[in-house]
Amino acid sequence: MKCMQESEQINKQKIFFPHVVDLFSGCGGLSYGFHLEEFEIVAGIEKDNHACRTASYNLHWKHGKDREHLCEDINNVEASTIDRDIDKPVMVIGGPPCQAYSRIGKSKIRSLGEHRFGLNDKRAFLYKEFIRLSLDLNAEVIVMENVPESVNFLGNNIPQTVSEILEQNGYNAVWTILNAADYGVPQTRERVFVIGIKSKYGEIEFLPEPTHVNPKWRGKQNIESRFKKFKDLKNFRFPLTAAYDAPSWITVGDALSDLPGLFPNSRSKYTLEKIDTLKPYQTPPINEFQKFMRKLPKGEYAKSVSANCFRKTPRDFRIFEKMQPSDDYREALKIALNLFEEACDYNNINKNTEIDSYNRIKKDYVPPYDATKFHSKWKRLNPEKPSHTLVAHLGTDTYSHIHPFEPRGISVREAARLQSFPDDFIFSVPMGSAFTQIGNAVPPLLASGVAKAVLKNINK
């Protein structure tokens, strides 16, 4: 046993780990995944001050390192200003802003004016700044993440373009589309990844290996059919599929069932907890995902957790209470109208003779949104399935992710769980900012899968 341990230690010392620089880091989800695979995160750049603080704490300060992410617009950053060991090879990772590509963001962007839409949106071309800094840093490896819509931005395929630029500069490059649920994240979230590795390491042979499988697709998944429109692109690679006997996707119930109870019913008293307030878990960890989320450095499991704050939405708590798993706004509106009618009957309000009272009660009970346009903005999580994709709009409201067991929107910690941030990942920022950071992040377990593939390719 001792000889085996010594051999493993020697082999581990031989593995090449470039230092990591994270551009457009957000709160550090992508970096944290590489950190989980023992890469050292030496620097990061993020424009948002709150996100920069979150990343700095979780990647540097809490590990006793005297470093912090640079809070700066990437357009103003040169390679020489990035604090790193210039004698150590680096890897550059990052996810340039996706709002210009994303369908979710386009309608809002257009409403802000044509200067913020399409080719006029400067954020659409920040991938060029990402490439500029990566090349100036002479990165051994380059990993870029973005939304699937980036494959068709006004007819341009951004990941293919990035791959071609990297090849022109001495890299082998591939791109693929990965689903976070395939990597143990309790959320269906597809993202594009471009991986560029200097040609001296040879061809890119290894892609991220899925650890989990959709139980409906077990043994039936036809990846090539789904992505056939990309098959003739030189740099595209079909994502791998999980083994037939791989564990099933992690569900919302798997992910959240041990977290503190916060609001048992719609008549409960609402309390806005401070984000750093600790609350005890409801149960010991009851599955492998919960054990991973709660594991402490010495192998013990945490007994309490922070970030239990959620939004106060008094009109809607009673609606949430009657919604079924997977219900959206269409069902919610029917529930609201029924509750409103009951309230009118109880108070003997006649809409024809007591118009003011009728309208006042209606405002107290019925959300003012068009059910033909708004249905996807509300949804109750189904405990038997992974969550649907978390988005940055969580920073504005959490109607898109209504708690599966309690009549409320999800808490900050629950959102973090659905993104696979461990419970010791701390958000010491305002609640709205924490939600935005989580919605924007790359799930750490997905990033971990990418990090493992990079290691295999540069150490093969």
| Segment holding 136, helix H or strand E | helix 126-136
Cα(388)–Cα(455) distance, integer angstroms: 30
What residue type is assigned to position 224 of the chain?
E
Paired tokens of 409: 């929107």
Whether 27 is catalytic: no
Residue that has been written with the tokens 């802000």 in this structure: 112
Paired tokens of 9: 């230690």
Cα(230)–Cα(215) distance, integer angstroms: 26
Paired tokens of 321: 């209470």
Cα(240)–Cα(236) distance, integer angstroms: 12
The pLDDT value recorded for residue 399 is 96
Cα(92)–Cα(133) distance, integer angstroms: 9
Provide the strand spans (E) within 132-212.
141-146, 171-179, 190-198
What residue type is assigned to position 248 of the chain?
S
Residue whose C-alpha is closest to residue 320's, from 383, 263, 386, 252: 263
- Residue 17: phi, psi to the nearest 5? -120, 100
Residue of 27, 52, 98, 309 with catalytic role: 98
Q: Is the dihedral of CA 223, 228, 234, 236 positive or negative?
A: negative
Q: Is the dihedral of CA 427, 414, 393, 215 positive or negative?
A: positive
pLDDT range class, residue 374, cuts 50, 70, 90: confident
CB 199 within 8 A of CB 172: yes
Counts for the chain of helices (H) and strands (E), in that order: 16, 8
Paired tokens of 311: 């939004």
145 CB-contact burial (10 Å; exposed 0-12 / middle 13-18 / buried 19+): buried
Paired tokens of 262: 């916060």
DSSP annotation of 159 reads H
- Residue 65: phi, psi to the nearest 5? -100, 135
Is 50 exceeded by the pLDDT of residue 6?
no
The pLDDT value recorded for residue 218 is 74
Q: How many residues does the chain have?
A: 460
The pLDDT value recorded for residue 115 is 53
DSSP annotation of 401 reads S
Pick among 3.90.1150.10, 3.40.50.150, 3.40.50.720, 3.40.50.880: CATH of 16-249+444-458: 3.40.50.150
Mean pLDDT of the chain: 91
What residue type is assigned to position 105 of the chain?
G
Cα(180)–Cα(191) distance, integer angstroms: 8
Q: What would you report as the CA-atom Rg of the chain, rounded to the nearest whole angstrom?
A: 24
pTM of the model: 0.92
Over residues 72-98, the pLDDT tens digits come to 999 999 999 998 888 899 999 999 986
Is 50 exceeded by the pLDDT of residue 1?
no
CB 189 within 8 A of CB 454: no
Q: Considering only 25-34, 49-58, 117-126, 329-338, which range has the smallest mean pLDDT?
A: 117-126
3-state SS track over 81-102? HCCCCCCCCEEEEECCCCCCCC
The pLDDT value recorded for residue 8 is 47
Q: Mean of the pLDDT values across residues 1-26?
A: 70
- Residue 342: phi, psi to the nearest 5? -65, -40
Q: Mean of the pLDDT values across residues 180-197?
A: 98
Q: For the chain, what are the domain ranges?
A: 16-249+444-458
**Which residues fall within 8 angstroms of residue 138, CB to CB, at 6 or more apart?**
90
Residue whose C-alpha is closest to residue 69's, from 82, 85, 80: 82
